[in-house]
Structure 1
Amino acid sequence: MKFLCTGAQLPDNSSRGFDIGNQKLFAVRRGGQVYVYINRCPHRGVGLEWKADQFLDSSNSLIQCATHGALFLIEDGECVSGPCAGQSLTSIACREDAQGIWISV
């Protein structure tokens, strides 16, 4: 398991990017649950963020690709709108404990 951040560093309805080795990842917290994905759009293979740590749409209810506006469900990474509809982001197993958020790598 690899440490990402403390729970306080990822408030509810927020996102945050990480560089772990040569892998770019991002985490989103929604409803107290943490979701971690590889930071790579299935359409163009580019990073998703608008600017540092900003992966969500204006309502904080969907993940949005800054390149072409594709929208992804936070809970499972499925693309629900845009050129990669039906494809999904690659999820990374994670868990949270008193120390913080951990990923399986």
Structure 2
Amino acid sequence: MRASVIRPSTPDGDEDREPEPTLQEMINIKLTESGEKERLKELLRERLIECGWRDELKAQCRAFAEKKGRNNITVDELVRTITPKGRTMVPDNVKAELLQRIRHFLTTTADRVA
């Protein structure tokens, strides 16, 4: 008796294609290409400074560094510890304003494409 040979299946033409970008990736591409992403980042910086978020975050970093000892922490450790706190400290009105700007961008972009 001869043993059967197991051969790999014939590749489909679809396997060579890159996967379709997700909706989030497509939005990110449109925001970047149009320059809107940079404008939104600048708006976010301004709003966070205005509301005192930046100063509060600096204070949290200083307090953490003093607690652990300035020579006993790394930047990575500081970022890992402070980032979740910083995200929760972003005021809801700032988040809402950014979301509204993104929605407006998407609706005006969709109107031009359609």
What's the TM-score, normalizing by structure 1?
0.25
Q: Give the structure with higher Rg (CA).
A: 2
TM-score by length of 2: 0.24
More strand by share: 1
Q: Which has the higher helix share?
A: 2
